[in-house]
Amino acid sequence: MASEQESSNGPVKKSMREKAIDRRTANKEHNSNFKAGYVPIEEERLHKTGLRGRKGNIAVCVIVLLFLLALINLIITLVIWTVIRIGPSGCDSMEFHESGLLRFKQKADMGVVHPLHKSTVGGRKDQDLVITGNNNPVVFQQGNTKLSVEKDKTSITSDLGVSFTDPRTQTTFFSTDFDNHEFHLPKQVKVLNVKKASTERITSNASSDLTIKGDGKAIIRGNEGVFIMGKTVEFRMGGDIELKAENNIILNGSVMFSPSRIPNTSLGSELYFDEGLESCRSTVQTLI
């Protein structure tokens, strides 16, 4: 006899031989004490679970990305907790105000500070603003203008000029704008060291001497001539002194000189000496 088996095309009949084989296989499996209740199933027929192939690679990338985000979040949290010091009671190191003011309540260690447009950096009332560099100069820079404060000197570099003005009274103490301000050295400044200076006149106080000194060579040049006037004028040099003029050189006063050392005049120029050539100290006026 044949039994019926459901299929997509309708009932299918098994032969007596197929039924006998199935029955012997089932009895053989159930009669074994070691394999009681166990029915072997081929692995190819099992339902595959989990992420395999490309989906598995994407899952690994997502897990690594989440780990990196968690690590970055941990670092930011530690920085906020230790550096900015934000705790349950607020920020211990700084204050933020509605007017845009940022106030530091403790010492701040910074590298480069870029203030916003028309912003101000200042200290508290009746307290000094202390800015220090760890064995490095403190530099204030705006465009090409730069102020550098070092251990043994302070230098100012500017292409336009320098001016020191009292913010309260608007009084100018010092300015390189010689057209509108006259340059006066403060009383405490005794020596002015410059590589090149352009001015109309250099004078000293009535009770002090004016000394112009150069380490290697000092050059005094005038577009319309150079006038040197004083009670006593002395030229001291380790090498030679050179006087150049397009037309002539005039020495007025009593001058001490050695005739044997007078150089020959160049063509097209003349050298004049007035009366009293043997005296040593008198008024000397030089036109170059």
Domain chopping of the chain, boundaries: 1-40, 50-105
| Residue 39 pLDDT grade (very low, low, confident, very high; cuts 50, 70, 90) | low
Overall average pLDDT of the 196-219 stretch: 80
pLDDT at 34: 58
88 is written with which tokens?
């349950």
Continuous segment of H or E residues that includes residue 16:
helix 16-31
Among 195, 197, 175, which residue's Cα sits nearest to residue 185? Answer: 175
Sign of the C-alpha dihedral, residues 177, 182, 185, 187?
Answer: negative
Averaged pLDDT of the chain: 73
Contacts of 227 (CB under 8 A, 6+ apart): 285, 286, 287
pLDDT band (50, 70, 90) for residue 47? low
Other Cβ atoms less than 10 A from the Cβ of 277: the count is 13
Q: How many residues does the chain have?
A: 288
Quote the pLDDT of residue 153.
Answer: 84
Phi, psi dihedral angles at 83 (to 5 degrees):
-90, -60
**DSSP labels, 184-206:** ---TT------S----S-----T
Mean pLDDT lowest among 38-52, 77-91, 156-170? 38-52
pLDDT bin (cut points 50, 70, 90) of residue 73 is very high
What is the pLDDT confidence band of residue 125, given thresholds at 50, 70 and 90?
Answer: confident
DSSP conformation letters of 120-145: -----TTS------SSS-EEEEETTE
Burial of 286 (0-12, 13-18, 19+ CB in 10 A): buried
- This prediction has a pTM of 0.38
| Three-state secondary structure call for residue 220 | coil
Residue 50 above 80 pLDDT?
A: no
**Bridge partners of residue 146, in order along the sequence:** 141, 157
- Residue 65: pLDDT over 90: yes
Instruction: Give CA angle at 64 (58, 70), nearest 5°.
Output: 135
Rounded to an integer, what distance in angstroms lies between the CA atom of residue 177 and that of residue 164? Answer: 11
Answer whether residue 173 shows pLDDT above 80.
no
